[in-house]
Structure 1
Amino acid sequence: MTDMNLYEQALEHMERTVNVFSMRVPAPRRVQYKDSFVYRYVEKTVHQALVQKLARMVSGLHAARLLLDAGFVQEQAALQRILDEITEDISFLSFSVILGESTPSHTRYLEDFFQEEFDPNDVAVSSKDRAMVPRKKIRAYLDRCVNGPKGSSKNLDASRTVSKAYSGYVHAASPQIMDMYGGAPPRFQMRGMHGTLRQAEHRADLWNYFYRGIMACCFTAKAFGDEELFVSIRNFEAGFLRATSSDYQSNEWP
């Protein structure tokens, strides 16, 4: 079985898991919006936020895989930058429940997360200002959860480096754009980079995001207090590791 087939299995497993979680929180309700309605979680709980983040994560993994298959690796990498933050957010929220230590940053995060983008009572359409918990605070909190009260500057530096590199794809920085340049004669490859070394590199890179997606489901199961589901996901994770990687690195790497 190829790694791509195993990725499909992982996506199906994650989808089922998200559906299980979604049935354990109060369902979204219809809320009036101008002359129509929108669906909203009116209770605005941390578990409802986790369900939403997981759903967007799985959707993002589907999209990243499609982009990779078509050779659009620049766009895949930009999407992975989004997935970086989503998986960090899931861990950030999950640990607050698992450790029973919701901080002011967690409270503020949820307030910001559930804030509406537009005021339905405004005649003119205008977006509200949205405050956000600084990413460095989220990463510092996660670092302390893993490495103790003092954390690890080495791990934080690594997180910042990866974030900056992928931000170059989001904001179309010159070094990242030049990854599109090549061929005979050399030119910008604007219809994807199917069959190139770049596609092979990004295929190997995608493994990390699938693995982190499975682990995000693990943390969420803990936050929901479902030990049986947590063990089941960990068993799936172990099988995924055996089949697709060596020493936590994709078998796709040369």
Structure 2
Amino acid sequence: MERTVHGVAERVPQPQRVPYKDSYVFRYVEKTVHQALVQKLARLVSSLHASRLLMTHGFVQEQAAMQRILDELQEDITFLSLGVIFGKWTSLHDDYLAAFFEEEFDADSAMESTQKRRMIPRKKIRAWIASMEGGLDPSRGVELMRTISKAYSGYVHAASPHIMDMYGGNPPRFHMRGMLGTPRHATHRADLWNYFYRGIIAFGFAAKAFGDDQLFSTIRNFADEFARISGKDYQSAEWDET
């Protein structure tokens, strides 16, 4: 995945140094959809690394919160890629890119800034994706994505039922240094495999959006092999006995 990001990053106009205060920052000045895809893919890989690191040390609550971020990254990549692949670019895509590339602050001081970042409603993105998925009732597709998002949002916003997953043992107590070796750890470790698989699929969409059929074929073969090794339900086969 990292090699793919570096490869596609070379195919778009490169980031430029833009003056910022007494120094500079790097920015994509053209603000194209393919530049956006490069950035989203890079963040996807970084988030997968972070999720795996948290899982390794048993921090399953934090891992699940990262997976909520991964949900949106994968949706964003799918949304942008399909718009390019099928020539179904809409004003919603234009609005999304405008909001994505918008700077966080319009003044030297954050307190003086009047900038208010526009947020494209997630439900609109999900509805558009669902409308492109043949054979699936769009309303059912939207509800499926919303349900997954809602489940993991509880970890992001620290809802009580989710926090209580940290509580247990003999005597019962809150486990605040991770849940390494517990049944919760095993469950979340198995769940993470699905996010890696979905990440691979997102890379496949992006390859198609770049018009690279050879890269797409390589990714598709990799996805097939990943699914074969992972076992049923795209979970690690090592958890069949859990």
**Contact in 2 for aligned 1:34/1:120 (Cα 8 Å):** no
Please identify runs of 4+ aligned residues in structure 1 that moved more than 3 A: 120-125, 247-250
SS in structure 1 of the partner of residue 232 of structure 2: coil
Note the C-alpha offset of 1:133.
Answer: 1.4
The unaligned stretches of length 5 or more in structure 2 are none
**Distance of 1:197 and 1:102 partners within structure 2:** 45
Q: Cα–Cα, structure 1 residues 52 and 41, in superposed 2: closer, same or farther, change >3 Å?
A: same
The unaligned stretches of length 5 or more in structure 1 are 1-13
**Contact in 2 for aligned 1:211/1:237 (Cα 8 Å):** yes
The residue number in structure 2 matching 1:111 is 98
1:24 and 2:14 correspond: no
Note the C-alpha offset of 1:124.
Answer: 5.0
The residue number in structure 2 matching 1:235 is 221
SS in structure 2 of the partner of residue 39 of structure 1: strand
**Contact in 1 for aligned 2:107/2:113 (Cα 8 Å):** no
**Distance of 1:133 and 1:33 partners within structure 2:** 27
* Pairing partner for 2:30 from 43, 54, 57: 43
Partner AA of 2:4 in structure 1: T
1:66 and 2:53 correspond: yes
**Distance of 1:82 and 1:140 partners within structure 2:** 19
1:137 and 2:124 correspond: yes
Partner AA of 2:52 in structure 1: R
The residue number in structure 2 matching 1:189 is 175
Note the C-alpha offset of 1:134.
Answer: 0.7
The residue number in structure 2 matching 1:10 is none
**Contact in 2 for aligned 1:117/1:127 (Cα 8 Å):** no
Length, aligned pairs only: 240
Note the C-alpha offset of 1:248.
Answer: 3.9
1:88 and 2:69 correspond: no
1:176 and 2:162 correspond: yes
Note the C-alpha offset of 1:125.
Answer: 4.2
Identity %: 64
SS in structure 2 of the partner of residue 133 of structure 1: coil
**Distance of 1:86 and 1:176 partners within structure 2:** 22
TM-score, structure 2 length as denominator? 0.95
Q: Deviations over 1:180-210 (max 9, x none)?
A: 0001110000000000000000001001110
The residue number in structure 2 matching 1:224 is 210
Q: Cα–Cα, structure 1 residues 133 and 151, in superposed 2: closer, same or farther, change >3 Å?
A: farther
SS in structure 1 of the partner of residue 88 of structure 2: coil
Note the C-alpha offset of 1:84.
Answer: 0.2
Q: Deviations over 1:80-116 (max 9, x none)?
A: 0000000000000000100112100000000000000
**Contact in 2 for aligned 1:140/1:151 (Cα 8 Å):** no
Partner AA of 2:219 in structure 1: I
**Distance of 1:155 and 1:110 partners within structure 2:** 23
Partner AA of 2:177 in structure 1: R
TM-score, structure 1 length as denominator? 0.90
**Distance of 1:225 and 1:61 partners within structure 2:** 25
Q: Which has the higher contact order (CA 8 A, sep 6+)?
A: 1
Note the C-alpha offset of 1:152.
Answer: 2.9
Note the C-alpha offset of 1:151.
Answer: 3.7
Q: Cα–Cα, structure 1 residues 120 and 219, in superposed 2: closer, same or farther, change >3 Å?
A: same
The residue number in structure 2 matching 1:6 is none
Q: Cα–Cα, structure 1 residues 157 and 120, in superposed 2: closer, same or farther, change >3 Å?
A: same
